[in-house]
Amino acid sequence: MATWGSRGLRGSTLEEFINHTNERYTEMGLALIQKIPTPITPVKIDQESRHITLAYFDKISTVDYIGAVQGIPVCFDAKECKADTFPLQNVHEHQMDFMEKFEKQSGVAFLLIYFSTRDELYYMRYEQIRKFWDRGKAGGRKSFRYEELEPGWFMELKQGYFVPYLDMIQKDLDCRDE
């Protein structure tokens, strides 16, 4: 696995770090979070390499990850962004609908956004993405700017690869109790 460098995710992906983090959380007995595969139907397969070369999506997917943290249902999606402006088109309507329904069932829904140029990771609560989403639907900006983000929700990777989102889930839950 690649390691975290001072200039970003050198040759690796945010998803790999999250998957590794999820494995560690499971081993530690703190959480059980699973990556949700996107359902596809292969159309063409390269017979030599046995790789799928053409496929279509069976149905729309929900979010990237789902599971439980100490009995609390959790779902989230991981996004990467190169610029200081995040286009809301990167979050699909069916994902917003799923996260809304998930929250109504007393779950915790959020996005993990990696700003690659800044080498910064952000925990975006469902409530916050909903405000930006509603603003776009009402005719406002169809994106949000880095400057609009709340400073207290940025995370630093631990040990260079560990995404400490459990700390942010606790902070998220604490905000709901206020």
Closest CA to 113 of 160, 57, 64: 64
- Given CA atoms 135, 138, 141, 143 in this order, what sign does their dihedral have? positive
* Verdict on whether the full-model pTM lies above 0.85: no
The side-by-side arrangement of strands in the sheet containing 108-115 is 31-35, 65-69, 72-81, 108-115, 120-125, 154-155
User: Distances in Å between the alpha carbon of 46 and those of 19, 34, 57, 58?
Assistant: 28, 29, 19, 20
The CATH T-level fold of domain 14-177 is Trna Endonuclease; Chain: A, domain 1 (3.40.1350)
- Given CA atoms 112, 1, 51, 36 in this order, what sign does their dihedral have? negative
3-class SS at 103?
helix
Tens digit of pLDDT per residue, the chain (178 long)? 333 343 444 435 888 899 999 999 999 999 999 998 766 666 677 778 877 776 655 556 689 999 999 999 999 999 998 999 999 999 999 999 999 999 999 999 999 999 988 888 999 999 999 999 999 999 999 999 999 999 999 998 887 678 999 999 999 999 987 6
Q: Give residue limits of the domains in the chain.
A: 14-177
List, as residue ranges, the binding site for Mg(2+).
62, 64, 77, 95
List, as residue ranges, the binding site.
62, 64, 77, 95
